[in-house]
Amino acid sequence: MFSFFKRRAVPIQPLTLKTRVQNFWSWYEEVAPRFSQTIAAGQCPALAAEVSAKIDELLPGFAWVFGPGETDKSHSLTLSGEGNLHRQLVAIYWASQAPKITSWTFYPSRQPGTIEGCCINIGDRKFDPKEFWITPSINSENEVVDLIVWHPLLAIVPERDRYTVLFLFLDEILGEYGTQHWIGKIAFDGKQLADSIPISELLRFIEKVKTEKGWQKYPPGESWTGYSFERQHDDFLRGDIIAGSTSNIVLINEYLDAQGELENPLAGTGADYVFVAFDATILPKGSEVDSRSRIEDALENELKAAQCGRVLGGAFGTRFAYIDVMIFDGANSLAIIKKVLNDHRLPSGTTVHFFSKENRNSRIVL
C-alpha cells in the first residue's frame, strides 16, 4: 500500500464541501462496479488517472489509494489528509457520507498493512524493512513511544529521505492515526543498539504499552484539549480569551501564532472554520459553562442533522463567550447557525466570524 498519489493543487472552485462530497459519491456509485472488475483483473494502475482527475476536481491536494477491503474479494478506497488535522477532518466527513456499495469499504486515513516483502527505492538505494531496527522507550509524560532508529543506509542518505522512508514504513505498520498518536521523538543512531528490536515488532510493543498503561487514543476531532491564556489583549479578535476547550488545538495554536492573520487552512476544500462571539454577561452567573454548552449542543444537533458542520469547542473571555464551528455547506451552514443563535435569544451584536483572514469580511452580525 505504498502507491499513494500526491495531488497537485488546482484552482479553487465555488463548491461547498458538502456539494463536493455529494458529487464525488454520485460519481463513485456509477463507476464502482467497473472499478471492481478492473482491480480484480489485475489492472488497478489503469484507474489512477481517472481517480486522480476526480480528486483534483473535487478534493484537491488529498492523497488516495486503493487497497484490500474487509473480505478477500472486496476492495477499499482511502482518502488521506496525510497527518494534517484540518484535512483529516475533511476526510472523516467524506467517509461519513459514503453510500453502501457492494464489495467496497472507504477509509478516511491510511490503514495498517504489512511490510512483508515491501521495499522502498530512493534513487539507487533500496530500503528493506527487515534491516530497520528500533529501540523504543516509553514517554509517560506525553503518552507516546520515542524511537531510536538504525538502518545500514541511514548514515549516507539526506535527513529528509530518512524520515520519508521511516514514516512510510511506520504508516504501513501502525496506520496513519497510529503513527500520529503513538510515535514521539525520533533519533537516528549510527550503530545498531544491543536492546533494539526489528521494526516489524513495533506494533506488538505498542499494544503491550497500551494494555499496561491504559492509554486511550481517539480519532481526529474526538478528543478534547483544555487551554488557557495568562494575558488578555485587544491586538486581534479572540484576544480576550481566558480559557477554553477544543477538539482542534491545532487551529487554536495556528490562529494564535498568526496573531489573527491566519491563512485559510481549509482552502480549496469547500469547508471553513468560524466562531460565534457573544456578550458573556448574558449567561446566568454561576452556570455560564452549562448555558454555553446548551447552545453548543443545539448547534451540533442542527448541523449534524443537516450533515453540514460540527462544533469544535468553545471559550470564555473577559468580554465575550465563544463557540467554534467547522462548516461544510457555506451559506446553508451559516443559516443554521444564525437560526440556532436566534432561537436561543442571543443579543443583537452577536457575531459569526471566520478564522481565516481571507474571509474576514464575510462575518455575520445578528
Specify if 7 maps to a domain.
no
Chain mean pLDDT for the chain: 94
pLDDT tens-digit map of 280-324: 999 999 999 999 999 999 999 999 999 999 999 999 999 999 999
User: 233 and 353: one domain?
Assistant: yes
User: 229 and 357: one domain?
Assistant: yes
User: 97 and 166: one domain?
Assistant: no
Specify if 358 maps to a domain.
yes
Return d(Cα 357, Cα 272) in angstroms, integer. 12
Residue type, 297: D
Specify if 2 maps to a domain.
no
User: 247 and 291: one domain?
Assistant: yes
The pTM (predicted TM-score) of the whole model is: 0.90
Nearest to 75 by CA among 47, 114, 101, 95: 101
Nearest to 281 by CA among 316, 311, 251, 255: 316
User: 193 and 68: one domain?
Assistant: no
DSSP conformation class of 269: T
Domain boundary among 107, 136, 162: 107
Domain that holds residue 247: 225-365
Report residue 196's pLDDT band, with 50, 70 and 90 as the boundaries: very high
Cα-atom radius of gyration of the chain, to the nearest Å? Answer: 23
Report residue 13's pLDDT band, with 50, 70 and 90 as the boundaries: very low
Q: Are strands 364-365 and 104-107 parallel, antiparallel or unpaired?
A: unpaired
Return d(Cα 347, Cα 48) in angstroms, integer. 53
In percent, the amount of the chain with pLDDT more than 70 equals 96
